[in-house]
Amino acid sequence: MQAFTDIRALIIDMDGVLWHGDQPQAGLTDFFETLRDLALPFILATNNASMTAEQYVAKLAKMGVTVAEREILTSGMATALYLSQRYDPQTTRAYAIGGTGTWKPLQDLGFTLTGLYETGPDQHAHLVVCGMDREISWDKLATATLNLRAGAHFIGTNGDISLPTEHGITHGNGAILAALTAATGIQPMIIGKPEPIIYRQAIELLGAPLAQTIAIGDRLDTDILGAVRTGIRSLMVLTGVSSAKDVEATDYGPTWVVPDIRDVTRMLRELAA
């Protein structure tokens, strides 16, 4: 295993790493206290676009952890930023499936959001943006399908087909994307991990060199593969979706594998000693 050295910044996943649903992982507060004690900058970068940065700040506060909104980057935020750099928000209409974390970043950057069945010639969306939606419905899927068939570009905040929760592993946003692809034959462009877009945005926010930045995650096919594609080292915890056996079965993998964030805390403190 490669030596755990020369680390100056971290990009940290949330679901499966910091918590399962509303259940915090053991050692959560100590982990963040260590990051603060060592003055290690970090970005909490999640593929889950169901909540806003403000909501994630509040969720962590309930778990005894204080973070700033600037330390959070969701795939919803990454998607809105990416699209704003390629489309004029003032003239672009978007139909969004997903929670507040999907549609609010688009609204904040000036995109006009269309509603259910607003699919006429002067109402149809130029973009269909799909994030995790816990209130998905026939009407939402139908509106997205009509817009896609009318020529809207198809954007997925992330493609995760599963989501670790306190109840077990459930379906993720990728399952909703698959339904729309089945209905239209159109494949979405994915912004979140394993595409390097969100990692590159996080690295820019951190202002740290690639060689001194590591990603921490629980999924091989998103967190770890995204790090590989970005060209940074990665650490996988075994408290989420992927297992040690999964690592053995792939032709790529993390730089380090540990049981949980308590081990990451120990390694960081040993590094600083």
A 10 A CB-CB count for 111 gives 26
Residue positions annotated with a catalytic role: 13, 15
Which CATH number describes the domain made up of 77-190?
Answer: 3.40.50.1000
- CATH topology of 9-47+193-272 equal to that of 77-190? yes
Instruction: Report pLDDT for 21.
Output: 87
Residue 235's H or E segment, with its range, is: strand 233-237
Task: State mean pLDDT over 65-79.
Answer: 98
| 218 labeled part of a ligand binding site | yes
What are 135-182's pLDDT values in tens digits?
999 999 999 999 999 999 999 999 988 877 778 888 889 999 999 999
> Was 88 annotated as part of a binding site?
no
Domain spans, the chain: 9-47+193-272, 77-190
Question: Radius of gyration of the chain from Cα atoms?
Answer: 19
pTM of the full predicted structure?
A: 0.93
**CATH 3.30.70.270 for the 9-47+193-272 domain, yes or no:** no
- pLDDT in the model for residue 170: 84
Element (H, E) at 80: helix 75-84
100, 90 contact by CB (below 8 A): no
The beta-strand segments (E) located in 62-202 are: 72-74, 93-97, 112-113, 127-130, 153-156, 162-165, 168-171, 189-190
pLDDT of the residue at 1: 66
CA distance 145 to 136: 13
Q: Which two tokens stand for residue 253?
A: 């993998």
Q: Is the dihedral of CA 229, 99, 184, 89 positive or negative?
A: negative
- Does the annotation place 260 within a ligand binding site? no
Any known ligand binding at 122?
no
7-62 pLDDT, tens per residue?
Answer: 999 999 999 999 998 999 999 999 999 999 999 999 999 998 989 999 999 999 99
What is the per-residue pLDDT across 177-218, written as a single tens digit (0 to 9) for each? 999 999 999 999 999 999 999 999 999 999 999 999 999 999
